[in-house]
Chain A
Amino acid sequence: MRAPLRVGTYVPFATSGLQSLLQYRSTFLITGVTAAAGAAVTVFLWRAVYAGSPGPGPGGFTPASITTYLVVAQVLAVVHANRVDDEVAAEVYRGDIAVMLVRPVSYPLVRFAACLPVIAANALLVGVPLLVLFSVLVPLTAPTPVDAALFALSTAFSAVIAFCVNLLTGMAGFVTTNTWGVRMVKQGIVAFFAGQMVPLALLPGPLHTLAMVLPFRAMADGPLTLLLGRYEGVGGASTVLGHQLGWTVGLVLLCAVLWRGAAGRLEVLGG
């Protein structure tokens, strides 16, 4: 008895998201400066580590490939900053979610549509300039066409996973009123287990194993493994993509189940 899903219904949420976004241009500048500073710190730190080692250093990285790993990891982090966690948490906190629920639309899909322009704007207005800036400053590794294509596919998966992780974080607002802490914890966990701060290949034994299983790997280390050709043939690439696909499906299902449960026990007080 569910209403049929029509993609057209969600297009206006994407376009209106873009319209709202364009009203706040300065945010892109701020995001850009923050990301560039963050990337500079990790890049120059790790370049110092690799400077002394002739040939491939720890984890099989060369100075150029570790630089590429860290810069692109930062770009992916910018792309994944889709604001879904902030928006959902705020709407649950203020009770504005009530307004969304009186419309004939699925709330998670509305949020997904609305975050697409944010992703695109972050990628074009912050991600690309960041990449260009660092390619001028430091030598980067150019990927093969196949690796670039695999990376593009893998990045698409990672965007969906980032959406789910942020949606779940925002939905913590159903349980706890103040989600600031939850969002901070999420940010830390993602930055660490995605490989943004330390490439996952460099983590010690058990931590490495854990990182390889968790979904966060799919948000940076997965795509970067493909980009840098750090895999063994078709099997190696499919392992990375399989891990991503598995978590994409798993997290989408988890979101759907938890959303249904949360919406069923939603309490909007006041008004």
Chain B
Amino acid sequence: MIVAEGLTKDFRIAERRPGLLGSLSTLLTREYRTVRAVDGISFRLRAGSKTAYIGANGAGKSTTIKMLTGIMTPSSGRCLVDGVEPYRQRRENARSIGVVFGQRSQLWWDLSVPDSFQILRRIYGIPDTVYERNLALYRELLDIGALGTTPVRQLSLGQRMRAEIAASLLHDPKVVFWDEPTIGLDMVLKEAVRTLVNRANAELGTTVLLTSHDLSDISAICDDALVVDGGRVVHEGTLHDLLRRADRRSVVFDHRGGRGVEDTVLRIETGLPGAAAGLTSEGRIRVDYPADAFTSRHVLGFLLEHFELADCYAPEPDLETVLRQTYRGGVPSARDGGAV
């Protein structure tokens, strides 16, 4: 559904010198510097997939989305959305996509939400049945009815974002691009948004590409992950596979027996070289070990042999830990992957 081949975008930025004198000198001479925001990335997303587009700030996520939505033309390389090159056939592409830019409103600033929706209905030529069905769904899940006839400019951020999300799905697009869609939403509404997009995905096969700094959104909505760092793709696959890249895993246990914490920690760290142990806030012992040195079976075996375990579990490595490690270029440091 979405294909990127060597997608690259360079920006030419006027260099400004600091201070007043520097500002004056830019009147006469101006130096330009080329910044490569997206560096030849290639990926392929299948129809109906729900992919998180993950990267640190400035990794080129928004720039890529702007190329996929046809707003910007790549400096080199190309991309296809449903077989269409978005920046060449912008209007054709626009029919089959839905977009939320968390930072910008796509509603009519001076009009109410119902009026904005009526305009979208005309622009996209949404059939009555589809329009009514979607509107009923948004009333139920997002409480759109409560926004009434207030002009969009007077809505709160949370209210506006609800309307933005609904607007992006109103015409049953084949693909939705959501760039930071849940800013300003509380827990309940975030949950509703997740339900909404998962429903569209299940019932209509909507393809989803999401960027978010809220990692819980990502894990609630997405199955796949595309991780970009320094303008390059560093992971393309399932979210599950991404999590398995964690270089440190953990085991948490309660233990009986009179042994003190310090003794226990010392014993583990000498018995499992490279592992780190410590007390969690719940009063349990947590063991973090390098995934390439031991298996969880190995660690559990060691613990069972030396301690009297009352309770024990091995938590899944969490996304934040894995991402932090991935952004650093996969170089594991001693005291990371610990308690988050």
Contact = CB atoms under 8 A, between A and B. Distances in A.
A103 B101 contact: no
Contacts of B110: 19-20, 23
B97 A270 contact: no
B11 A96 contact: no
Nearest to B118: A12
B71 A105 contact: no
A271 B62 contact: yes
B297 interface: no
Interface string A228-271: 00000000000000000000000000000000000111111111
Contact of A269 (B11, B108, B124): B11
Interface in A95-114: 95-96, 98-99, 101-106
Interface in A7-66: 8-9, 11-13, 16, 19-20, 23
Most buried by A among B101, B102, B109, B118: B101
Contact of B122 (A8, A101, A264): A8
A8 B123 CA distance: 8
B104 A13 contact: no
Contact of A267 (B11, B101, B122): B11
Contact of B72 (A3, A16, A268): A268
A101 B89 CA distance: 11
Interface in B88-118: 89-92, 94-95, 97, 99, 101-106, 108-111, 115, 118
B122 A102 contact: no
A271 B104 contact: yes
Given A99-B105, A99-B106, A104 B119 contact: no
B73 A264 contact: yes
Interface in B49-95: 62, 66, 69-73, 87, 89-92, 94-95
Contacts of B247: none
Given A104-B95, A267-B72, A13 B105 contact: no
Interface in B117-153: 118-119, 122-125, 151
Most buried by B among A8, A98, A106: A98
Contacts of A16: 108, 111, 115, 119
A271 B70 contact: no
A23 B109 CA distance: 11
B179 interface: yes
A20 B110 CA distance: 5
A102 B86 CA distance: 10
Nearest to B110: A20
A8 B119 CA distance: 11
Contact of B94 (A1, A8, A95, A102): A102
B44 to A, nearest CB: 22
B104 A99 contact: yes
A271 B179 contact: yes
A213 to B, nearest CB: 34
Interface in B5-59: 11
Contact of A104 (B66, B118, B124): B124
Contact of B92 (A3, A95, A266, A270): A3
B71 A101 contact: yes
Interface string B217-237: 000000000000000000000
Most buried by B among A11, A20, A102, A265: A102
Contact of B99 (A8, A12, A102, A268): A102
A266 B63 CA distance: 12
B92 A1 contact: yes
Contacts of A264: 73, 87
A19 B69 CA distance: 29
Contacts of A20: 108-111
A11 B108 CA distance: 15
Given A1-B92, A271-B62, A104 B108 contact: no
Nearest to A266: B72
Contacts of A268: 66, 71-72
A161 to B, nearest CB: 26
A263 B106 CA distance: 18
Given A23-B110, A271-B101, A98 B66 contact: yes
Contact of A12 (B70, B95, B123): B123
A101 B72 CA distance: 9
Nearest to B35: A269
18 contacts: A2-B89, A2-B91, A11-B122, A12-B123, A19-B110, A19-B115, A20-B108, A99-B101, A102-B70, A102-B94, A102-B97, A104-B91, A106-B91, A265-B73, A268-B72, A270-B62, A271-B104, A271-B179
Chain A to chain B: the 4 pairs with minimum beta-carbon distance, closest first? A20-B110, A104-B94, A12-B119, A271-B103
Given A13-B119, A102-B69, A105-B94, 15 more contacts: A1-B89, A2-B89, A8-B122, A9-B125, A19-B110, A19-B115, A20-B108, A23-B151, A101-B71, A102-B71, A102-B97, A105-B123, A263-B90, A267-B72, A271-B101
